[in-house]
Every structure is written in structure tokens, then in C-alpha cells.
Structure 1
Amino acid sequence: MPDRVPVRCPVCHRDHQYAPTAYPCRCGAPVVAPPALGAPARPLVHRVWEDSWITVRCGACGRQDRWPQPELDCGCGAVLALPVLSLPQAAGRAEPEVARHGRAPAWDPVALAVHWLERLGHREVRRLERRGTSAVGLRASGVLAEVETAARPVGARAVECLWLSGLAAGLPAVHFTGCGYTAEARERADAIGLALFALDASGTARPVSGAAGELVRGAGGEV
């Protein structure tokens, strides 16, 4: 599969190069839903949560899981849904992918957070509207979550703000990031009992606070 797939916006006819996103199967292989070459993209006018997911089969172990429908934002404002091949499969094992390109795969942190929340037993995940910040809020059954998408470590202030939001909503809170946490953020999270997870290069959610470890143990010892 090519690293990038040509996509034309049906609204403004602008051409784009779409890089398919890889997601981590439980076996460790990166799973990619490859867009169908030549198939027209579809503008998303009304978003339906159930239609935002597709079933993808891992080519390494054969497991089928649900992952986000490939989408692309056009500069004209249109959000495009990209049709995928009928039998999308994994691109291969995670370790060779990193070694071949010399860098970690570009995981989508929000999609990964949704995946791990569901693995922890929290269903019906929905995205909360937030503006003017790189943090994305999520709410699921029994939990409030936040995903930091900026390429910088999360500080203590973000941890405290999420904790206060959880208190206001009457829900425990969970934080995800792919760029780690400052020492002050970890100390504060342990003091207030906030669950912190770091998304590593393989797409795994690694607990980095005591509360996060308790969530993992409550889910059967692994996520």
C-alpha cells in the first residue's frame, strides 16, 4: 500500500495526499484501513457516531476490531469520508515499521484514547466540543477523559483542570497523551488520584500514575 493516497474533494475539487493511519491490534501489529484507490470521497454533512466506525481485520492474527472511518479535512471546510478496501488488513508487525522508517508510526491519539477507554470497560464514548486548545475532551459511560494532542509534555495545570472537571461532572477522570508528563504533573496526579496514561510508539496506553494502574488491574490486569 502506498504511504499516501490521492484524494479529490468533491466540493471544491482540490487534490490532497492522504496518509492512512495505523492502529494497534492486540497482537501488536499495526492495522491500516487502506482507502480504495480511485473511489470518490463522500462529504460528511451530518455526523452519525455509529457510521464513524468500520470493521478492520488484522492481517497478522486475523482478529477483527472496530476502528475510525478514514476522514480528511479539506481547506474548503468539507470533511470527507474515504471509502476503504473491502478487506483491509494489517501492514505488518509494529517493530519492523519503526525500524524501516526510523521513526514511530503516526498514531491518532484521540482514536487511540477511545479504543483504550473501551478496553477499560467504558463504552458509548463521545467527543466533547472544545475550542482554543490542543486538548480534546471525551465522555464515556462512567468516566471523563482528555487527550492532549500537542507535541509537548502535559503539565500540572492540565492535570488539575481535568480533575476539577471530573469533580463537577461527578465522574472519575482519565488523561491520555503521546508526549509524556512533567514530574510535577505526575506528582499532582498521584496526590489527587487522577489516572494518567502515556501512548507509546506502538500505540499502547501505558499507565504512569497509581490511579491508572488501578484502572488497568480492575480491567483484568491489561489494556
Structure 2
Amino acid sequence: MAESVSVRCPTCRREHTYAPPSYPCACGAPVSLPLLSGGVPVRVEHRTWAGSWVPVRCASCGRLDEWPQPEFGCTCGTMVRVPVASPGTRPPSARQPGAGKPAAGRAEPAERPGAEPPSAPEAARPEQARAEQPRSEPTRAEPTRAEPPAAGSGTPPQPPPRTAGPAGSAGTPARRPAFRPVTIRTAQDAKTAAAQYLRWLGFSEVRIAGNRPASGVDLRGPEVVAHVDPTTTPTTLRDIETLWLNGLNESATAVCFSLAGYSHEARNRADELSLALFVLDLTGTPQPVNDPADELIRTIA
């Protein structure tokens, strides 16, 4: 797990404790984004596709992949991007996968460089040891290959993450599995990620509306209405007030999600209306940016 670092918002100069996310490499090892030592955080004003991804090398296998830039939303409404160190060279373990394992037929002669030639009975013993060694290694490796299926098939929390939220929204926060985000590459992905998060919080039957609904409500459930802003500009005051009126009309909780943060006026108005604001990074993980959002997580989760 990556260590937390102190990051200062370039707009309001507020300090935040930030831990970069980890992503699963194709080899199965977690890839932590290496933050640049002494790097200066920048404000995200205009988001581009090329600038939203950063190459990071896996420390285990040496594979170089592109992952979302580490970003977080400040409480002042600014979307802050944290610089990442450039990928280094492949580690020796990745360049030479078998460097740490001696060859099967070379270990025995190297252990006795000055020994006399063994007699016939003694010469048979190393051959028997070498013949038995390959059989013993697979027997130890087979249980390790069998462990993941056994753990996955017998663990009940993994299949029901969608149903555990609504059923245990009031009294089972400890049993709830970790939220599994959806990587955001399109506007529809942003709506899907926000809908999954609302279901994870405990709102049932959350549905995604069609493209550009006239009401401005992108997600709707029996007890919640939500607006998802996937654009590269901060969410405006008008969006916040429109969403609040929809929630008031339907007697539902109003929640807003944004990729680029919120304008200063929108943020202040949301605090006055007690409307929960979240920001979405490209991993699809919502982060609360105001007190109503924190309160929503505490009371429902």
C-alpha cells in the first residue's frame, strides 16, 4: 500500500493527506503510482484525454502501462493533480526472471568444488536427490495455485456487493465490502460509476436516465436523485439549484457528482442547501468535498 503524503492545494493553500491509488497489473501485482518527490501540485482547469493518463512501470514484472493521473478534490472546489515520477528502468528481477533460482543440475557440483570424485554408491545419491527435487517443488506449488479459487469460491462477501448495501444500509457498515469502482473513459462510464456508488451506499433501484435529460437528473431511485457532470469544466450554480429543486419536488435526497469539481458559487450554494457534492477521478472513485457529503456517508453507509 502506498504511503500517504502531505499535499497543498494550489488555490486555497489547504494541506491534505493524500495516498495515491493502486491498480492491478496484468501479472496480478498491485501497481502504486510513484509520486514525484518535491513535485508541485497543479490545478486541473481543462482536462484532456492525453493529459489524464501517466505511464507507470510495475515493480514486479516490469510491464509499462498507462494509469489515471492521481487527482483529488479540495474542499474549496479545486481539482488538484499530483505529479508522478517518470518510469525508471526495469528491475533486475523483471529482466532476469530465473536469476534467483539455480539450475537443477548445477547446484550439486558448485557445493563441493574441492571434493574427490565420489564412488559409485556416493555418485548415485546426488542423482537421486536431483530426481526427487523436481517432484517435491510441484507438490508445494500446487496448494498455492489452488488457494485463490478456494478462497474466492468460499467467501460470501464477494458475490453480493450490490445487494449488501441496500439490505444493510442501517446497521451493517462493517460487513459491507469495499467499493469496486468503474474506470471512467466515457460520459456513460461516469454515470455508471456514480450509480454503483449510490447502490453501494444503500440506495436501491438506482437507474440511469437517457442522454441529456431535460430535468438534469441523470440517476434516479425511490429515495435519491443525482446529477453527473462528466464535462471538463466545473459544475455551475445553476446545476446545483436545478438538482436541489428536483430533489425537493420528489422528496428525495439530491446528490451531485462532477469530474472537474465545482465553481465557488456552486460550492457555497450546495452548503447552504445541504446538498452532497462528490468529485470523481478517472478510477471512478467518488470523494466527498463538503460536509453534507460526509454526513450522507455516515448516516447511510
What is the TM-score normalised by the length of structure 2? 0.40
Report the Cα offset of residue 219 of structure 1. Answer: 3.8
Report the Cα offset of residue 137 of structure 1. Answer: 1.0
Q: Deviations over 1:100-134 (max 9, x none)?
A: 3375364421111011101111121112235477x
Amino acid at match of 2:297: V
- Judge conservation of contact 2:244–2:254 (CA < 8 Å) in 1: yes
Alignment gaps of 5+ in structure 2:
1-20, 35-52, 57-65, 70-182
The structure 2 residue matched to 1:118, chosen from 199, 204, 215, is 199
The structure 1 residue matched to 2:262, chosen from 168, 173, 181, is 181
1:5-16 matched pairs, under 5 angstroms: none
Amino acid at match of 1:167: L
Structure exhibiting the larger radius of gyration computed from Cα positions: 2
Question: Are 1:153 and 2:234 counterparts?
Answer: yes
- Judge conservation of contact 2:235–2:266 (CA < 8 Å) in 1: yes
The residue that corresponds to 2:23 in the other structure is 29
150-159 vs 121-130, which deviates more?
A: 121-130
Question: Are 1:95 and 2:33 counterparts?
Answer: yes
Report the Cα offset of residue 215 of structure 1. Answer: 1.0
CA change 1:128–1:184 in 2 (3 A) is same
- 1:185 alignment partner, SS class: helix
Amino acid at match of 2:198: L
- Judge conservation of contact 2:22–2:31 (CA < 8 Å) in 1: yes
Q: Distance in 2 between matches of 1:116 and 1:195?
A: 13
The residue that corresponds to 1:76 in the other structure is none
Alignment gaps of 5+ in structure 1:
1-26, 33-58, 62-91
The residue that corresponds to 1:163 in the other structure is 244
The structure carrying a bigger helix percent of its residues is: 2
Number of equivalences: 137
CA change 1:29–1:102 in 2 (3 A) is closer
- Judge conservation of contact 2:195–2:208 (CA < 8 Å) in 1: no
Report the Cα offset of residue 151 of structure 1. Answer: 1.4
Report the Cα offset of residue 165 of structure 1. Answer: 0.7
User: Identity percentage over the alignment?
Assistant: 37
Alignment RMSD? 3.1
- Judge conservation of contact 1:60–1:93 (CA < 8 Å) in 2: no
CA change 1:142–1:158 in 2 (3 A) is same
- Judge conservation of contact 2:228–2:257 (CA < 8 Å) in 1: yes
The residue that corresponds to 1:53 in the other structure is none
CA change 1:30–1:138 in 2 (3 A) is farther
- Judge conservation of contact 2:217–2:225 (CA < 8 Å) in 1: no
Report the Cα offset of residue 200 of structure 1. Answer: 2.1
1:41-60 matched pairs, under 5 angstroms: none
The residue that corresponds to 2:16 in the other structure is none
Amino acid at match of 2:259: G
The residue that corresponds to 2:281 in the other structure is 200
Q: Distance in 2 between matches of 1:117 and 1:94?
A: 27
- 1:29 alignment partner, SS class: strand
Q: Distance in 2 between matches of 1:60 and 1:219?
A: 33
What is the TM-score normalised by the length of structure 1? 0.53
Q: Distance in 1 between matches of 2:67 and 2:209?
A: 35
The residue that corresponds to 1:217 in the other structure is 298
The residue that corresponds to 1:43 in the other structure is none
The structure carrying a bigger strand percent of its residues is: 1
Amino acid at match of 2:23: A
